[in-house]
Structure 1
């Protein structure tokens, strides 16, 4: 056990120091407007050299700093959370491999080295989702892995298509690619890859299923690593996506994802799945603002969202621990009096998610919505933006109502208390960042003031939508508690909205019934049917038959009969003569 404690502490100290170094280097790059491009020649064969390239600019260094900071706190938190696990060393090493894959992805200006980090994330995420070995985890792991394979294939095709430009360092060719047909094809493939990794419609079903992983993994995956990889890739490829027209389709799909996830979270009772759907909604927001051509805003929201979402998952883990591993919010209640420090962190992260003024989420989400109002955007997309914002506040206050107020509904004899100092210190550190991180990042990323001038009605629209959404969520939560038959009376509608528009069924049963079973039929009829019957199997059967005939001819006594017959004929001929 001592070695497991030491590996946690060593990982925590190393990641925290690396995060500080990366942060200071990133600030230096911003102030001096510096970009460092490093090429490392791995080996050379004749005239061909294999070169590894790394890009260190303000964006990659800041993102690395945030990823390592959150990873350090998650590992420190895991030391207490996974205390009873005999294989905690393996768990910590898997998390470190996960972070290393993300580092590869962040600092790569090259599609080949991006694929290293991309596939590393996919493989290690599969190992972490099936960490608790049961049937549900295995199914979730397969759904996660197979959904992400589609994006991996798209990235491989983009790598093949990049041969048209003579190099895989896409960073040099973005402007030229945006003016060519090949660039449009690469843009489509990159968007497809990003949509699978960031779980946009129609690939959304794997994200809530991945909640089968341990909660510290969820805190890491849903804040700054796996799901943000697609957003980060599109931030790098943003010029190409906006100028080739692929962004219009991405805007529609990401807006629908935001809307669908917000609706689904209002009908969900699993604590971790509510937070997962919240992540999906925020990813839709980042993707949609990227599709409109504002990569810096998307990056700003990516960093602020990472802070409060990791804190939200950590608080959820502490609550689940106290609830004897129950995740149903209907069993919770009155947690604010039993677990005051955890409740404070939980409420701060929830308010930051809602966009409460002067918390981390406010600075990014408010400016995004104001930019949306200033842009030439159709009414349907604007409706999706603002209605989804109202839904975010709606499910957040519904979650607070179920978990923090009322009576505790689980057991009369319960061990509710704030968790040990190891978990609390990680949560409190993130809470400080969830309060201060947004303002500090806005000063760093937007040092020059920009005037956003809107009419009073539009300026107050965000506040109005949030207030109405919060009141509606609170009233709906009370109404569904008082009326037990409400969900049953509206069963079809509630099932449709609460199951992500039947997407999990389509991704599993639908894919199994139509393409996979159809493929099996084709295999049995063609590959293993007529082509075998008239091809290889026919040759095999015919040659086997003739070889058996020859063998029978050689093995039986026919030759002896012929020899004796010939001898008798000779004897008769001699006697007659």
Structure 2
């Protein structure tokens, strides 16, 4: 079964590439149950590629494990469910696929039946998934009944004629369902408690399945973008998760939990981009983060080591290093704005997106400039030569995804700059300064607060190595 299902997954990937290059007949795309649009084709390629890698990796990683056929059956079934979810054009079918996705994922989290911690993590995640499914079903039920149609296309077309309280309530329910699935604050503990999951499942989960919250917001963009208050709420919850997730990364002591906290931060930033009205930017982020996070999880075993930082490990900052960092960040933001058509003068959500790109490049450049393993010449002069082409690549992916999603309703809906946006920028800048100055290391109270708020459920924790080695 592992061999057969691995080959079938790669066949699905080849088929998805074919559908991406040669789209199906547009007339077929309007069927009542299924349709294939740009979002479907993009997610099919991402899902099947990551799933194929995970299937192939698992043939070695899971060799000799108990219930191997059950593992592969659920992994392949989960791939099919995600494909069905992205192609569903019926509200009931979409809700059913969403529920099935959570149920099968919870089974994979608890794959090791004799491991109490794995079973506790599975049950804890299942409760979150069932709650998220109930929220989604309620939102879709409200929309379907009031719109008088049960197709997604028909419902989205009827949104403008629905009452404001109904649309606002449905959008709030959809946002909550997306937050649960993408493990945003305060629903993050199910993800941080799932570290007993087999590493291949962690790769698939962090690279693809938690992204379903962004897919949900993208699919129902006309609903969540209808009211400015909802879009501001999306920006707020995304920003909070991005900041806290990044702060939690700094205090983790094991590799997988660092990656889990990083996923919370990245999902927050993805949702924030949705709130700014740029679905293509969110999905480009989803694509690149998914591939990178899958690699990090599958390679996590090779980077585990017991080390103690030495006082001289961190190079002291210099004026030249600070100048290189600042210039590279500003050049990266200008390059991104130029290649994606964002204005640097008009204050809107596009400008805000560019500011966040500048901060991201600033953080990445600072990290590389202060890396002791690189020589001074490399750190100061080759860093811009690496990061600026990376920004150009990101802008290219963003543009390509935008072209692919051109027919998606409400894919781009820039909003006006508000005091909330300005306050969020100030908080992000302060957070960058806090990381740069190492406040989490100098303040015991802050360190303990971050550590406590990022703790998984106690019943999922391993207390000694024998518990791990036994399974």
TM-score if structure 1 supplies the norm length? Answer: 0.59
Provide Cα deviations, 1:457-509, integer angstroms capped at 9, x if missing partner: xxxxx9xx99x979967x96xxx9xxxxx96x843320112344x6857999x
Tell me if 1:18 matches 2:12.
yes
Give the deviation of 1:213 after TM superposition. 0.4
Give the whole-Å Cα distance in 1 for the aligned partners of 2:263 and 2:73.
25
Change (3 A) 1:390 1:179: farther
Q: Relative contact order, CA 8 A, sep 6+: which one is greater?
A: 2
Change (3 A) 1:317 1:102: farther
Provide Cα deviations, 1:489-546, integer angstroms capped at 9, x if missing partner: 843320112344x6857999xxxxxxxxxxxxxxxxxxxxxxxxxxxxxxxxxxxxxx
Q: Which residue of 1 aligns with 2:103?
A: 123
Q: Which residue of 1 aligns with 2:250?
A: 266
Aligned counterpart for 2:274 among listed residues 279, 282, 290: 290
Describe the SS at the equivalent of 1:243.
coil
Give the deviation of 1:259 after TM superposition. 0.4
Aligned counterpart for 2:298 among listed residues 314, 330, 336: 314
Q: Which residue of 2 aligns with 1:208?
A: 192
Give the deviation of 1:179 after TM superposition. 4.8
Describe the SS at the equivalent of 2:29.
strand
Change (3 A) 1:385 1:107: same
Describe how 1:44-193 pairs up with structure 2 within 5 A: 53-132=33-112, 133-161=114-142, 162-181=144-163, 182-193=166-177
Change (3 A) 1:368 1:265: farther
Give the whole-Å Cα distance in 2 for the aligned partners of 1:231 and 1:504.
24
Aligned counterpart for 2:348 among listed residues 366, 376, 395: 376
Give the deviation of 1:319 after TM superposition. 4.0
Give the whole-Å Cα distance in 1 for the aligned partners of 2:352 and 2:65.
49
1:129, 1:213 within 8 Å by CA — same for their partners in 2? yes
Stretch deviating more after TM superposition (157-166 or 376-385): 376-385
C-alpha root-mean-square deviation of aligned residues, in Å? 4.3
Provide Cα deviations, 1:67-113, integer angstroms capped at 9, x if missing partner: 01110111100111112313222211111121122112111122211
Tell me if 1:445 matches 2:439.
no
Change (3 A) 1:439 1:387: closer
Change (3 A) 1:185 1:297: same
Give the whole-Å Cα distance in 2 for the aligned partners of 1:93 and 1:366.
46
Which structure 2 residue ranges, 5 or more long, are not aligned?
311-328, 375-389, 405-424, 461-471
1:137, 1:213 within 8 Å by CA — same for their partners in 2? yes
Give the deviation of 1:28 after TM superposition. 2.4
Describe the SS at the equivalent of 2:10.
helix
Q: Which residue of 2 aligns with 1:235?
A: 218
Give the whole-Å Cα distance in 1 for the aligned partners of 2:48 and 2:156.
29
2:214, 2:270 within 8 Å by CA — same for their partners in 1? yes
Provide Cα deviations, 1:108-167, integer angstroms capped at 9, x if missing partner: 122211122211111111111112342322332222122222211111212331212222
Give the whole-Å Cα distance in 2 for the aligned partners of 1:103 and 1:271.
30
Give the whole-Å Cα distance in 1 for the aligned partners of 2:456 and 2:243.
17
Give the deviation of 1:37 after TM superposition. 2.6
2:340, 2:395 within 8 Å by CA — same for their partners in 1? no
Give the whole-Å Cα distance in 2 for the aligned partners of 1:366 and 1:88.
50
1:271, 1:316 within 8 Å by CA — same for their partners in 2? yes
Give the deviation of 1:263 after TM superposition. 0.6
Q: Which residue of 2 aligns with 1:528?
A: none
Q: Which residue of 1 aligns with 2:259?
A: 275
Give the whole-Å Cα distance in 1 for the aligned partners of 2:341 and 2:396.
20
TM-score if structure 2 supplies the norm length? Answer: 0.72
Provide Cα deviations, 1:39-83, integer angstroms capped at 9, x if missing partner: 4xxxxxxxxxxxx70111122012112101110111100111112
Give the whole-Å Cα distance in 2 for the aligned partners of 1:176 and 1:313.
42
Q: Which residue of 2 aligns with 1:416?
A: none
Q: Which has the larger radius of gyration?
A: 1
Q: Which residue of 2 aligns with 1:222?
A: 206
Give the whole-Å Cα distance in 2 for the aligned partners of 1:166 and 1:68.
35
Give the whole-Å Cα distance in 2 for the aligned partners of 1:469 and 1:281.
14
Provide Cα deviations, 1:276-313, integer angstroms capped at 9, x if missing partner: 11111111111111111111221122112211111111
Give the whole-Å Cα distance in 1 for the aligned partners of 2:71 and 2:261.
25
Aligned counterpart for 1:256 among listed residues 240, 249, 254: 240
Give the deviation of 1:27 after TM superposition. 2.5
Which structure 1 residue ranges, 5 or more long, are not aligned?
1-6, 40-51, 324-328, 334-354, 406-433, 449-461, 481-485, 509-577
Aligned counterpart for 1:492 among listed residues 445, 452, 459: 445
Give the whole-Å Cα distance in 1 for the aligned partners of 2:197 and 2:265.
20
2:280, 2:402 within 8 Å by CA — same for their partners in 1? no
Give the whole-Å Cα distance in 2 for the aligned partners of 1:471 and 1:203.
25
Give the deviation of 1:210 after TM superposition. 1.6
1:264, 1:499 within 8 Å by CA — same for their partners in 2? no
Give the deviation of 1:382 after TM superposition. 8.9
Change (3 A) 1:213 1:156: same
Describe the SS at the equivalent of 1:173.
helix
1:242, 1:292 within 8 Å by CA — same for their partners in 2? no
Give the deviation of 1:211 after TM superposition. 2.0
Tell me if 1:300 matches 2:292.
no
Change (3 A) 1:379 1:303: closer
Change (3 A) 1:227 1:446: closer
Tell me if 1:9 matches 2:39.
no
